[in-house]
Amino acid sequence: DAPRPVHAEDLLAERAIDGDADARGQLIENVYVPLAGTPLLDTLATYLEQGTSLEATARLLFVHPNTVRYRLRKITELTGYQPTEGRSAFTLQVGLILGRLSETDVT
């Protein structure tokens, strides 16, 4: 249901899933790398795993819900994708998965 024409940048997640190496690299670079090694990565992963539930994320991370809100804003600032918006959350999830897989690649 995407409008036509669509910018290739707007379909990074789909392109990466389809096997586009450039899109995969771009998602890893723009999503995973800025968050790697920070609490933001765990916050994002937990938030997405909990169906974008702020309260469930806070409980699992043993932090206040406002801390989760703050971290989600920081994720948006660093990546340009908003975890609370469906389309962006999907792109973040794909970037997160690809980043984790790239760490386990033994090439």
63-96 pLDDT, tens digit per residue, is: 999 999 999 999 999 999 999 999 999 999 999 9
Say how far residue 33 (Cα) sits from the centre of its chain.
11
Distances (CA, A) of 15 to 42, 54, 91, 95: 25, 29, 11, 12
Check: pTM over 0.75? Answer yes or no.
yes
24-78 pLDDT, tens digit per residue, is: 999 999 999 999 999 999 999 999 999 999 999 999 999 999 999 999 999 999 9
Given this model, what pLDDT does residue 28 score? Answer: 96
- Residue percentage of the chain with pLDDT more than 70: 94
